[in-house]
Amino acid sequence: MKGTSRRYTYLRFNDDQVLEVVAPNPRSLDAESIIRERQAWVLKHLDELSKSQRVFDNESVLFDGRRLKIIFVKTSGEEGLRPDLHRGEVSILASDRSSTRELIRRWFLKESSGYVMRTLPAFASRLGVSYRRADVREIRNWGYCTRDGRLSFSWQLTALPARLRDYVICHELVHLSEHNHSQAFKRRLASVLPDYRQRERELGLTIPL
């Protein structure tokens, strides 16, 4: 990318919600002027970020749309994880806190895989599509679909309430027949999820690990 044209300069918020101005030639950049010009965009996205919630932090984890408090229990024996949804807690049994993320990953992987494999066939039938294979693993997005019919879903899917998990699953299934986000794609998605736009907005307020 060459030149110093403003059209090559853009704004973004990083994972720590810090605003970054990205340009091909930072030395000639007038960041304050650019931010003033895009003030409405900046304020809108700041408001959205203030309402967003992360799947996991040092104190809590999001599971099935609920925030669970993490209770660390130091142990010299076998490591494990004990969720108590009634109390809104999850106990991490380990010799060191550094094991927390991996124990949560294993728990989520099992729960997400179970949900996807139970739910996917029914939605595929309703949409009249078929897929070659499906898996749940570590990916950057909530899900994706390849042109050869393979579906992948994030191991973090179980952090979401069922209605948003269903949105992700249906979204990727529709891509089996509509490979973009055209009006045809939207009509097909609306045929099984009439409120898909609302679910889409809610999904945008959850930030994966």
Residue 26 has pLDDT above 80, yes or no: no
DSSP state of 128: T
Whole-angstrom distance, CA of residue 183 vs CA of residue 178: 10
> First and final CA of the chain: distance in angstroms?
31
Tell me what pLDDT residue 205 has.
75
Whole-angstrom distance, CA of residue 62 vs CA of residue 68: 6
Better-scored residue on pLDDT, 52 or 200: 200
**Tell me: the pLDDT tens digits for 94-140?**
999 999 999 999 999 999 999 999 999 999 999 999 999 999 999 98
Task: Give the amino acid at 35.
Answer: I
pTM over 0.85: no
**Tell me: the pLDDT tens digits for 48-61?**
555 567 899 889 99
What are the structural domains of the chain?
A: 6-51 (no CATH), 54-103 (no CATH), 105-207 (3.30.2010.10)
Residue 158 CB contacts under 8 Å (≥ 6 apart), including other chains:
63, 64, 108, 111, 112, 115, 165
Tell me what pLDDT residue 54 has.
86
